[in-house]
Each structure stands twice: as structure tokens, then as C-alpha cells.
Chains A and B, each alone.
Chain A
Amino acid sequence: MQQEKKKGDFRVVNHAIPRRDGRAKVTGRATYVSDVKLVGMAWAKVLRSPYPHAKIISIDTSKAAARPGVYGVLTGNDLEGINPYYGHAVKDHPLLAIGKVRYVGEPVAAVVAVDERTAFEALEFIEVKYEELKPVLTHDEAMAKDAPLLHDRVFEAGALRGFEGDTTAGKGSNICQAHHIQWGNVEEAFKNAAAVVEGEYYFPMTYAYAMEAYVAIADVNDNGVTVYSSAQHPFMVRHDLKAIFNLPVSQVRLVVPFVGGGYGSKSYTKIEPLAAACSWKFKRPVKLQLTIEEAMLTTRSDDALTWMRTAVDANGKIIARQAKILMNTGAYAENSPLVVEKSTNRCVGPYSIPNVQIDNYSFYTNTVPASSYRGFGCAQVTLPGESQIDELAAKIGKDSYEFRVMNAAKNGEEFFPKMRPFEGSLKQDLDIAAKALRWNEPAPKGRAKSIACSTSDAGAYPLTSTAIRVHADGSVTILTGSTELGQGSHTVLPQIAAEELGIPFDKVHVMSSDTAITPYDRSTGASRTTTLMGSAMIDACREAIQQMVAMAADVLKVKTEQIQVIPGGIRAGEIQLNWSQIISKYYALPDGEVIGRAYIRKAGRFAQIPVFWETVSTGVEVAIDEETGKIDVEKLVTVGDVGLAINPALAEGQDIGAATMGLGTGLYEELVYEGSQLMNGSILEYRLPRFKDTAKEIELNLVENQDGAGPYGAKGGGEGSLNSMAANIANAVARATGVRIRHAPLTPERVWRALKEQKAK
């Protein structure tokens, strides 16, 4: 734990310093990939499958290819010479459909033309003959005895750590991934329980809806592959592109400028292989910019149908939890196998439960492929988990907040076998939430309150490297593979470097996410950047300082032991030198630099997984219009147990942002399929949270006990307050009306119907 300084001691860290990217973003000067043009650049547009499951009999591209301005049309038949399959878990995903389409919207062909309009206009001249196959659309259909198989071969494993490529594809079923955890004796515990609640819950498919749709510009030439992309994880995309083009890592370059929102949806490889294949085939740079509606046909989150039961003993202690989860993963695995693993683990919640059994299965279906989304499977299982906490409390006549406190995992407790002991102070968090909601006072008529909490075993895998360059004028460039998605890495990382080097924040600048320049960072997701890249930043600064101490000793002709590090430089006896003076004297010119490096791996303070527990408590007060079923959130409370906020304003911004997304899935958001057709694949019908939905009263709290493994005791944040929101809404509705709704989102009609059914009873 890097925790020498205590809260209150910090000069730059733990201050709400304005965003480094502020000026660029408010003046329109921030560059996103959609703003980039290359010389000689062509445009691609994609023809998509109208069928959920069909054989491609033939594709005639001649008419489209003959149109003026069209350079060519790429199909699955034109990919000889490259390895067209990719995927993070398993390489099951062709960059264009090959022989078969597996969902409505799957790319079948790409027109490359002089401009976007020409490419678009050529699409309708491509003639594709299909032979329809029986589609598999739901968990039930996927499990049916005579279900058609989506995939009938075993795939090579992707880059997902610890995952052996053991999907069941090709093994005679549509199960994409299964995951199980078990400890204690569940059957015995339920037999001896004083009270049990049991139920089936559904959490829908959702879309993360980043405002910037997927976009990539690829330039494939004799020097290798260069791709500008809106990817969150450039190094992971590099991994896929390297294999597709059979190139050494050094010949694949991913460049990621500012990204217009990700929330997990831009994790891992998306459209980069297709853009690169177009460039490869037609020998020019190619830009592929999806529309939002196409983006909604590219990725979604897994839904989850969860059967769960939870038991207490006579003292109100939770003694057992069991769940069986079925998830719909769509046509390709993407990162869903990890979502399956994480949602399995996150069923346990932040509670100390001696008997646990969770069984989780995800299924391939002929729908849009599912993958990561902020919270990573946690929201899906926190709806059942936190609903049952309230249901149990009500059943045994306990206050739900006190019931949570009583069962909360304690700091240092190994509540999840073989994992890092719990690091956090859940009781303190819940107390803050209760106080903010005035839990002891009754809610006004027509309103109700709810408190809920969650903890996530962070998906952040510790493999990170970084370098900082201290220049001869004393300014610093950080080289980081962490992508600025809006979360604030361009602000937080310089804060840490400025703190460590004892220099002003303004002297530190960031160069990020160019795999040819910035050192390897596994990903930008799972709330990992502050904890892992932040720790690397401290190490790199300290390594640079060590080098500069040695240089100073050399220059001053003293022993390094005689040198004392002071903020911004060193002291040796009477002499003080700042970093600029040391470097300039060392090189005997006002030029040159010192490079500090750091490597983080699964060792030392990050030996144990997860590298942190992301723990958040949330609370709401809602008003319910019983005539229409419409719910308004009147008050919102978040309590982020973040260890230390490197930038409190940014940490709070993450919490309210995630909570708002959580309210979206709690109240409105769901992707609706009618048969094989996505019915609401547009913002006209997919209802996102808006200004109108914001709570009038908001209280954002950070708990800073410096108890994490990250820099100065920091832990990750930014996902947690999403996870318990749907449960909060359901719990508040139950408290207000006595009706328990186990199906998210709690749309007006769903609430109205539930109330009506209750009245009929």
C-alpha cells in the first residue's frame, strides 16, 4: 500500500483541480476520431443482414462496385490472406459474415468509396441471396433439445486472462459460458433457516449509448497496420489486429484520441478489423463511421434471468444464498464470458454469507452480441440480490438498513473465499446514506425511500506499464496507455505525478493511448486506471527521482546518501537543485531528459485478486403516480467508498454519472426484441435519462479511509453507484405500495400493472 501521506497532507492530490481537457472540450477543439481525416482517405459503409440466422448463398457486388466513385466492395468471400476471426474470449467473430449470418444487423459487405454518400448509395446495389435457418432467440430456445447450433466448431482462445477458450461452442450446445461458485452447504443451510425468500428476477438487455458511435480509420500498408479508433482498450485491439494480419506487435499501431463516451461499450475490438480489412483490400486509408443506430446493432449488455433464494437464521444473520442465472449473450462471445464470471461472483453482494452456491450460464442466440457494460454484470444480479435483502428484512420484521449493517462484510474479513479480504467500511457508508435520506423520518405520502449497496470484485487485471519523461526545463510528459474517456485520466494522472515530483500540476502533461509510443496498459475499464495506472505513476516518478538523485550526486560529487529529496528537487547540505537544474547540469546543456518507468504485475500489493473491492451505497426517495405508474426520483444519495479521491470532483462526477445510468435501467431502458427484430434500436424509442429525470435533491459522498491498494490508499470508482439503482427503485416501490416488482426496468406500465394485479387480489 502506497500510503505514506495522510488525507490533509496532499498538495495536488485529493484536490478538485479543474479538468486538464477542459479548454479543448468547451471550445470544440478536442479531437475525436470522427473529426480525423487522412490524406487519400476513403469511406466505408456496411450492408447488414436482414435475417437473424441464414446461410449466405451468394453475394453479387458487381453493380455496386461499378458505380462511379466506388473503389470496391468487400465481402466474407474476399478475406483470403488474413485471419478474419477475432474475439477477446474466443475467436468466434468474423469481421464480415462468412457463409452464414447470425443476427439481424450483422455486417455482410462493406462498400469502400470516395465519400460517405457514394458508399451509402451503392449499398442497395449489392445483391445477397440467403437461405433462412431457424433462429435461436431466447435462453429457452437456446436450451431446447433440437435447437440449431449457432457455432459448430471449437475456437482459438483470445487475450482474456485465465480463460482457456473453453466455451462450449462446437460441443453440441449453445451454452457460451458457464461459471459456478460454491462454499459451505447450501442445502443444509436452507433446511435450517428461520426464514427464506425466493424469486425470479429479470434484468433486461441494455445499450450503453455512448454519444459517439463506433468509428475507426485504418491505414494498412507495407509498414503495417495503423488504426485510429474510439476504442477504450487500444492494446487489446492491437492483440486482435496483430493476429488478423499475422504481424509482429511492433507493426500494429492503435491511436486513440479523445473518446466520446464508452461505459464499457467500447471495450475490446469492435469495428477495427473491418476498417482494416477494407484498407488492406483497397490499398488506401479507410474511415468507417457507424451511425448510432448501427452502433446499437453492434453491442449490448447481457440480460439476466435470475432465480435466487436467500436465508436467515433466527438472529437475522444471513446464512445462505443460492442463485441460478441465465444470460443471453447473442451471436458472438465478445467479453461476455468474463461478464458471466463477474456476475456470478457479484451475486454474493457485500455480505458475509457462510453458504453460497451460484450457477451461471450464458447462451449464444441470434441477437446482437453482448459484451461489457459499466458495472460488468453487477447490476444484473444486484437487482435480485438487493431486492431479496429488503424482502428478507420485511419478512422477519427488521429495518432493511439495519439488516444490511448487521450482515455487512467487515474490513479485512475474507468474506469471499480465496479472494482479497474486504477493504472498505460498509457500515460507515450505509450510515452516511441513511443520514442523508433522513431514514428515521417517514417519507411523505406517495413517496418512499430505499437504501441499497453493492460490492464488485474489480475486473481490473494488474498488468500495466508507464513512463514519465522529466524534461530539462522541469516539465514532465506522462506516457500512458490509459484512454481519456471522460473519466478524467488526463487530470488524475498528472495530479499524482505533480504530487510525487513536488512540482505544479501545470507542468505535467499527458500523451496517451498510442500503442507505438505509450507503454503497455491492459485496458481502460473496470475502474482500474486510478488504482493501477495511478500506482504505476507513483512508481515511475519515484524511479525518475532515484535517477535524478544519482545524477545530482554525480554532478555535485557527493554520495547519494548525502542527498535529501525535497519537493521539486533535492538538497545536499547547503545546496538545493530543482529537477531542471539537475538534468541541465548532468547533460551540461539545458536539454535532455530523464525517463522514469514502472511495471505493475500480479505481484506484491497486487498479488491478490481483486485488486480492490468497489463498494458503493446508494439511496433514493421516489414519488409514485399510482394512476399512471410513473416514478419520479426526488432525492438521490451516493456514497462511494473510494479509499482516497485523487480528484474529489471527478470521483463524485463518476458516482452521479453512474447512478444516473442506473436510474435509466431501473426506470426505462431495455432493448425490446419482437422475434428476431430489435424494435427500439434508436433514441426515438430507447429512452435515456434526461434533464427532466434528475432528482431535485442530490447528495454525493465520498468515504476516504485510505484503505485501498492503489495510490495513497485509493480504490477504483465509477461503476458502483449504477449497480444498486434498479434494486433501489424496486425496493422503494415495494415500500410505498407493498408490491414487489422483480422485473426491470420499472416502466410506468409495468408498475401500473403490478399495482392493478395487487388490487385484484
Chain B
Amino acid sequence: MMPLRRFTIDQPKSVKEAAEMLAHHGENGRLYAGGTELLLAMKHDLLRYEHLVDVKTVPDLNTISVGNNNLHIGATVTHRAVERSAEAREHCPVLVDMEHNVANVRVRATGTLGGNLCFAEPHSDPAALLLALGAHVHVAGKNGERKLNIDELIQGAYETAIAPDELMTGVDIPLAAKSRRAAYMKFQIKERPTLGLALVLDVDGGNIKSARAVVGSISPKPARSDQVDKILAGSRADVEKRLADAAQELAKVADPVDDLEGSAEYKRHLVGVFLKRAFIKALS
């Protein structure tokens, strides 16, 4: 067995108390939710913490609710809870579809959407999709709350903009408009996705008014660009002809490298395959 090194667990009763505990522990402490990423890294001795602050004891962070413009998912809501949420299914079906295929059934039962984003593992399904959906997260600390979009939140591999004494309290995802067409598709051979492609379109008949394409897992953080999205807007027939150009541009932004998941060249190729597939799926 790989034993975990000794640590203590704090049980904050409020966001403020959690932030204080984190501030108190400094580098020796870390926020802990589902533990599906953190505890693995600790078991492998890649990370060492003396204190874990259990965010799950903070009340009211494990709820899904529908607001005027947003679907709100609390920081400690599990993948499974999103997968099975009627609200999520109604207001953001693409999210439910994505969550249904995150990791395996056990990880979905304990892992949280918030934890997934905060750990910023580069092969994250939610990060890619939520960036495409234009979601933002709420972050709270001793000095109050701030709002970050996903691009601001995730700085790089395992790096976020959340300060050591801050915690994420939830995610807001814009509600699906009637005109929104979205798809998330991934190519996965091993335990984590080789590539994830999220595409969100705003359509009006045969016209794509705007588009947001994100490729995940092939770079340290999910990649997108305004330039790509611009190529993907226009009449459906025109966009179809420009899909290869958009893919090429998106691959360029992502700038993948060779690793065990595949060569950079192969990943660039897959961007094209899955942009096309996601386009078809989104509009089907």
C-alpha cells in the first residue's frame, strides 16, 4: 500500500472560517473536497500537506439552483449530482452529458465539480466545457468575494488564480437559450482524455450568430481564441467549409506537445476531427 502521510482535518462551519483556516495554515494547508485528485497526489508523495480544510462541512455549498440567468452549482456538488440533476438537465444538457462521462462511476460519486476546476489538472473535461459555455466561478476570501471566468481561474497546469487563503464557492453557468447549440466530445484511450472539444453555438435558422470553441487536455489549460470563434460564425454552409481553417487555428492556439497521450502532430489532427464531429453533434 501507499500510505498517506499524517495530516489533520479541519471542519469549517462557514466560508469565512474556511478562509481563516487556510490563511492560518499557509503552505501547510489545502482545501479538501472530494479528494479524488488531491489524495492521489498525496499518496504518490507529489504533494504534502499537514492540514486539510474540509470544505464539505461548510453549509449550503452542495446545492444546484437556477437563477435568472445562471445555473448555479455549489463548490462541493459532486459530478454525479450534476449528472443526475433535473435542473442541470433542463438548463444545460451538455453539462449533464459531459459529467456522465467524467472518469468513472466512483470518481463521479465523490469528486466535485469545484474540486476538479480548482485542481486544474490539464486533462479536465469540465474546464474545457465551462470555458466554452462562458461560465464563471465565485471565489471567497477574508477580503470578500470575487468573480473569475474560467480563463482567468485556470492559469496553467495545476495552477489557478485562487490565493492560498481563498476558496471557490460555486460556478455559474449561463442558462441555455433556445438558440444555443452545444456539444462536448472527447477522445480518450487512457484514464484521462487525450483531447476534449467543446463547441457552443448561437444559431438563428441556418445562421451561426456566434461561436465559442475550446479544446481541452492537449495544453496546460483549455485553449480558445476570438479568431477561431470568428471563423466559426456565419452561415452554416460557409462555416462548414471553414471548419478545417478553424481547427488549424485552434490547434495553433493550443500548441500541443508530444507526450504519452500522443504526438503534437496527432493532437493537432484530432482537433480537426473532433471540431467537425462536435459541429455535427451540436447542430443535430
Contacts and interface: CB of A to CB of B under 8 A. Distances in A.
Nearest to A120: B3
Contact of A289 (B1, B190, B270): B1
A680 B191 contact: no
A752 interface: yes
Contact of B191 (A628, A679, A684, A748): A684
Contacts of B190: 684-685, 687
A559 interface: no
A668 B266 CA distance: 16
Contact of B1 (A116, A121, A672, A753): A116
Nearest to A292: B2
Contacts of B85: none
B260 A628 contact: no
Nearest to A119: B3
Given A628-B273, A668-B189, A749-B266, A685 B1 contact: no
Candidate in B5, B6, B269, B273 with the most chain A CB atoms within 10 angstroms: B269
Contact of A628 (B5, B192, B263, B270): B270
A680 B190 CA distance: 11
B1 A628 contact: no
B187 interface: yes
Interface string B118-141: 000000000000000000000000
Nearest to A118: B3
A747 interface: yes
Contact of B266 (A116, A121, A752): A752
Interface in B241-278: 260, 262-263, 266, 269-270, 273
Nearest to B262: A749
Contacts, number: 39
A752 B3 CA distance: 41
Candidate in A628, A672, A684, A752 with the most chain B CB atoms within 10 angstroms: A628
A399 to B, nearest CB: 33
A551 B27 CA distance: 81
A748 B261 CA distance: 10
Interface in A671-693: 672, 679-680, 683-685, 687
Interface in A641-686: 668, 672, 679-680, 683-685
B262 A672 contact: no
Interface in A737-761: 747-749, 752-753
B269 A752 contact: yes
A121 B6 CA distance: 10
Interface string B76-109: 0000000000000000000000000000000000
B86 to A, nearest CB: 28
A627 interface: yes
A741 to B, nearest CB: 15
Candidate in B187, B190, B263 with the most chain A CB atoms within 10 angstroms: B190
Given A668-B189, A679-B260, A291 B2 contact: yes
B3 A685 contact: no
A120 B187 CA distance: 38
Contacts of A25: none
Nearest to A627: B273
A747 B190 CA distance: 11
A680 B269 CA distance: 24
Interface in B1-30: 1-3, 5-6
A685 B260 contact: yes
Contacts of A753: 266
Candidate in A121, A630, A752 with the most chain B CB atoms within 10 angstroms: A752
A753 B187 CA distance: 17
Contacts of A748: 189, 262
B192 A687 contact: no
B263 A749 contact: yes
Given A749-B266, A752-B269, A628 B3 contact: no
A601 interface: no
B3 A116 contact: yes
Contacts of B189: 630, 668, 687, 747-748
Nearest 5 Cβ contacts at the A-B interface:
A117-B3, A749-B266, A627-B273, A684-B191, A749-B262
Interface of A: 116-117, 120-121, 289, 291, 627-628, 630, 668, 672, 679-680, 683-685, 687, 747-749, 752-753
Interface of B: 1-3, 5-6, 187, 189-192, 260, 262-263, 266, 269-270, 273
8 contacts: A120-B3, A628-B187, A630-B189, A668-B189, A672-B260, A683-B191, A752-B266, A753-B266
Given A628-B187, A753-B266, 9 more contacts: A121-B3, A289-B1, A627-B273, A628-B270, A668-B189, A684-B192, A685-B191, A747-B189, A749-B262
